[in-house]
Structure 1
């Protein structure tokens, strides 16, 4: 059986089973259903809103309903339920009345905006009174914005930790965009997740080995090359030379890549000997004479805070060190270190603090992160939820909400919502009490059309950490 071409999947099947029956469950003469999405709390106090545009472009824009898809969905759902609960009439109406375009309006905070949790991030409502059931049919798909949003948030909070240490121990912040490198492709659950998650990381940084992320940024966010990398060794390209051939393997890296930056994993056997006797001994002259870049030593095992400092100490004995203007030590510019094992929001601060304790500048080190960056997250990391807050039933407006006695943390918002700025802080106004002129939510999708098309450059600017924005202001006022 032939598989469908990419992009031709049946949108009618991209929902939870029970939602197929919901058109029969709303009150009689319901004409409007209005729902919203928020982070109800979670690990990080604010979230970087990102990824809705990917979903809209990938799934919802243009003619997404046709006869074949309706028939396919009808047949599948009848077999799935053992009954005919499918809203064939409703989907045929969308095809005939709207040309297969979805009569929905989606308003959202601009992508890249950093919003404290417990605030509305986007709203969805039907634009045709006969299609009230459509709003929550796509909850399943739209809630998947939790993933790019949470990766971007996790990445940004790590950027804040790195930036703080860099600001305290380095004379320059120039290396910051490349100090957390994405190693997460192989640890992702699929190529698509790697593309979405990796692109989310690129909101904050520019270093990646996840090619899928670059392609996602190119296709959905107008960025030709969103991330960069360098030639680097893996264990197989070193250990195939044998233990006695490790020096030859290292030498081969320097000779095959004579200019620019090159990274070499160095813990295959004895990381201490590799740093002292090989890089700082037999190959010292080649390292010192490197043109237009540096050799990056990669330890990949052991206790990271201790290993990184010991590697720096050994390399400094072989290559020397000098203090920068902040009073912290820096290796010569032709040699650096990358720690790519065990890196997460919880661990990188300990590594940087131990470096600081031993008077080493953060400028000596970069990080690589994999599973913890793209995969060790879920929808509850930021407690993401999509809830109905307003409806029109029998001509009467209803402020809809839930307030479970067993968990008031799941209490939902009421009525039509606006997201407004008060004294520089975001506030969600409920029950239609807000001022539409002050609403930070903008219409991004309406009746099958994308109305806002954000570029990655625009998003990066909005998501920038305050430390860098403050520095930019200071420089512009000098």
Structure 2
């Protein structure tokens, strides 16, 4: 039985990487590779590298790591570069002799641009940039994709608020993360929900709160918020005949001046709940409790359900018309739609709400699987490719250019990212830089040291918070 721990960086790779050190040409000294999102429906919001460096690259390789990795890899049927890893400990105290450059986290760049670049700093370790591809690419593609999807949704909601509400002040709380239970692991939640918090301040993923403090300098500052909320078990425990009592208990427990709470209201009959319980039997309590009741539908076709819920609430509680000419429910009642939300469905629901004459300020959205789990590396076609190699002191460009898929053509040479005179971001070769300071890529990690450490607050500002 193998006892290797999951933090053994040598084993945090694809199997075929273990034999690559003998596959490069003789005289190989330096290998430069880059990461990009080759395409996608979203601009890239770069995020997650700092977390990876702090969690995985700030701890040196040990002889125990080497011993464990050798047992696993040889039994797995592969060759093992024991001499190379031992030399890394002897020469660099177990820290990776790499230089990792990247754009600042929270930066926004069009797809098909370099966002990260890695090269070895010691010619004896030409094989290392490619060896960490698996871990480094994964550390970037997932949180960056979530941050990109989240920002795309934020822009949809922003435009809707600008059209139908008096202001956009509530925007940071308009898309709430409900993805923890549907994510593949706790680390997925930590990275994915934290990536969402680059754009928003609402989450039910408490793991992200710890991650913000652990990786992004939040300390005791709270990066996100939530409110008390019911689930079906706490409502159905009262039984169908006592649904009104269940709802009344929520007002009793959580109502009050400036307080808000959410009640799932479709355990049985959403329309009965709105028309006869919230809008009749408990109407006076809702109106006079001093806080905000947020009614949550949780089933049905979202565009139809949200519109009808708004219309029924308008009949029961009335509306006012804001400066943009759209109907607004009283402050004490709102809706949250957290079922069936994706970047595609969000626009459709919002369109229906606005066409029905309601302001989007009546509705908050929750997103679960569509935010944290229904993304993959192909969502934005993320890739890490080698683009230049130095052999016996001479640099040459390397690239792939398959005739069967031009979309997989890779970039050539040592790269830089610049902003041209028109404000457009583009990738160029490093030697074409006018000044080194023009390069938007900056050294983040060199030879075991994290050189730049940003807080989530700074990253949010870059992302247009």
Smaller-chain TM-score bracket:
over 0.9
Question: How does 1:81-230 map onto structure 2 within 5 Å?
Answer: 81=77, 85-144=79-138, 145-223=140-218, 224-230=221-227
- In structure 2, relative to structure 1, the CA distance for the partners of 1:231 and 1:431 (3 Å cut) is closer
Deviation at 1:354, TM superposition (A): 0.9
- Distance, in Å, in 2 between the alignment partners of 1:169 and 1:9 is 50
Instruction: Provide the residue aligned with 1:250 in structure 2.
Output: 247
Deviation at 1:437, TM superposition (A): 2.6
What SS does the corresponding residue of 1:347 show, helix, strand or coil? helix
Instruction: Provide the residue aligned with 1:74 in structure 2.
Output: 70
Deviation at 1:430, TM superposition (A): 2.2
Aligned to 1:399, which of 387, 391, 397?
397
With structure 2 as the length reference, what TM-score do the two structures score? 0.96
Say if 1:399 and 1:431, in contact at 8 Å, map to a contact too: no
What SS does the corresponding residue of 2:427 show, helix, strand or coil? strand
- Distance, in Å, in 2 between the alignment partners of 1:132 and 1:424 is 36
Deviation at 1:459, TM superposition (A): 0.8
- Distance, in Å, in 1 between the alignment partners of 2:45 and 2:341 is 21
Q: Residue by residue, what CA displacement relative to the aligned partner does 1:176-196 show, whole Å, maximum 9, x if unpaired?
A: 111100010010011110111
Q: Which runs of 5+ in 1 are unaligned?
A: 466-478
Instruction: Provide the residue aligned with 1:474 in structure 2.
Output: none
- Distance, in Å, in 1 between the alignment partners of 2:449 and 2:171 is 37
Instruction: Provide the residue aligned with 2:286 in structure 1.
Output: 287
Q: Residue by residue, what CA displacement relative to the aligned partner does 1:27-52 show, whole Å, maximum 9, x if unpaired?
A: 001110010001111232x1100011
Q: Residue by residue, what CA displacement relative to the aligned partner does 1:429-469 show, whole Å, maximum 9, x if unpaired?
A: 1263223231000000000000010111111111127xxxx
Instruction: Provide the residue aligned with 1:313 in structure 2.
Output: 311
Residues 308-317 or 18-27, more deviating: 308-317
Instruction: Provide the residue aligned with 1:443 in structure 2.
Output: 443
Residues 103-112 or 316-325, more deviating: 316-325
Instruction: Provide the residue aligned with 1:61 in structure 2.
Output: 58
- Distance, in Å, in 2 between the alignment partners of 1:308 and 1:135 is 50
- Distance, in Å, in 1 between the alignment partners of 2:68 and 2:35 is 30
Aligned to 1:49, which of 36, 41, 46?
46
Say if 1:414 and 1:431, in contact at 8 Å, map to a contact too: no
Q: Which runs of 5+ in 2 are unaligned?
A: none
Instruction: Provide the residue aligned with 2:14 in structure 1.
Output: 16
- Distance, in Å, in 2 between the alignment partners of 1:427 and 1:217 is 31
Aligned positions, number: 458
Residues 176-185 or 222-231, more deviating: 222-231
Q: Once superposed, which parts of structure 1, at least 4 consecutive aligned residues long, lie more than 4 Å away? A: 1-5
- 1:412 matches 2:410: yes
- 1:421 matches 2:416: no
What SS does the corresponding residue of 1:203 show, helix, strand or coil? coil
Residues 148-157 or 301-310, more deviating: 301-310
Q: Residue by residue, what CA displacement relative to the aligned partner does 1:62-89 show, whole Å, maximum 9, x if unpaired?
A: 4x211111111111111111x5x21111
With structure 1 as the length reference, what TM-score do the two structures score? 0.94
CA RMSD of aligned residues (A): 1.4
